[in-house]
Amino acid sequence: MKVRDVMTLDVETVTPDDNARTAAQLMADLGCEVLPVDEDDKLVGMITTRDLTVRLMANRCDPDAVTVRETMSTELLYCFESESTEDVSEKMSDWWVRRLPVVNQDKRLIGTVSLADLTAVKSMPIHEEASECPGTDRWPLVRRHKRGRPEKRRFAA
């Protein structure tokens, strides 16, 4: 089974020019610890609660004055939508991560995949025809957070 069949399509993102407070507030609102950072529809980084804590709080920086670009991690770990779930599961184990952004061949962010998504694969029934497979009619929905309101945008996979 491929990652595209099990990934989560509804992804919240921030841009490099958003301030750190915006990213922290969005994480708090969503109850998550990591957000993808995208610019011009391409994945350029990830920002985590650890990034915010270590880079802002330890240095006593004002979160309204510091941008996501100054705080995010740029060493990206990701997977491709065409990879097998087994390969991605192994990558996640090797990298000690619970969630990965999913990109297409142009490295455009189209979703995320988590350990929970991959675990659910093992309990899914096998479908005879592709038209019966879950997710075959879904389009990626990426939400970019801008000026206090998420903007919904659809991208073709």
Residue linked to tokens 């479908």: 127
Number of domains in the chain: 1
Count of residues making up the chain: 157
Q: Distance between CA 1 and CA 17 in Å, rounded?
A: 37
In this prediction, residue 35 carries a pLDDT of 94
Q: What is the pLDDT of residue 153?
A: 46
130-138: long-range contacts (C-beta < 8 A, 24 or more apart)?
A: 133/5, 134/5, 135/4, 135/5, 135/6, 135/9, 136/5, 138/9
Please give the chain's pLDDT, 157 residues, in tens: 999 999 999 899 999 999 999 999 999 999 999 999 999 888 999 999 999 999 888 888 899 999 999 999 999 999 999 999 999 999 999 999 999 999 999 889 999 999 998 987 665 555 444 444 444 444 444 555 444 444 444 444 4
Quote the domain boundaries for residue 27.
Answer: 3-154
Q: What is the pLDDT of residue 79?
A: 96
Per DSSP, 30 falls in state: H
CATH number at residue 74: 3.10.580.10
Beta strands in the chain (DSSP E): 10-13, 34-39, 42-48, 79-80, 99-103, 109-114, 141-146, 149-154
Does the model's pTM come out above 0.85? Answer: no
Q: What is the pLDDT of residue 150?
A: 47
Which sign, positive or negative, has the C-alpha torsion 7, 12, 18, 22?
Answer: negative
